[in-house]
Amino acid sequence: MNVTKKLMDEHQLIIKYISLLELYLTKIKNDRKREDLFVKLGDFVDFIKNYADKYHHAKEENILFKFMEEPGVLTHCNPLPVMLNDHENGRHFIRELLVAIVNHDYAKGLLNAQAWANLLTEHIYKEDNVLYVMAEQGLNDEQKTKINLEYDQIEKQLNGENLEKKYIMLYSLLEEVIKK
Chain contacts with Fe ion (rule: CB under 5 A): 60, 127
Cβ 59 to Fe ion, closest distance in Å?
8
Cβ 116 to Fe ion, closest distance in Å?
13
Q: Return the number of the residue (38 or 55) whose C-beta is nearest Fe ion.
A: 55
Cβ 150 to Fe ion, closest distance in Å?
16
Cβ 126 to Fe ion, closest distance in Å?
8
Q: Return the number of the residue (44 or 51) whose C-beta is nearest Fe ion.
A: 51
Q: Return the number of the residue (8 or 173) whose C-beta is nearest Fe ion.
A: 8
Q: Return the number of the residue (43 or 60) whose C-beta is nearest Fe ion.
A: 60
Q: At what angle do helices 106-126 and 80-102 cross, to 10 degrees?
A: 160
Spatial CA neighbour of 167 closest among 53, 74, 4, 30: 53
DSSP 72: T
Buried b (16+ CB within 10 A) or exposed e, 27-55: ebeeeeebeebbebbebbbebbeebbbeb
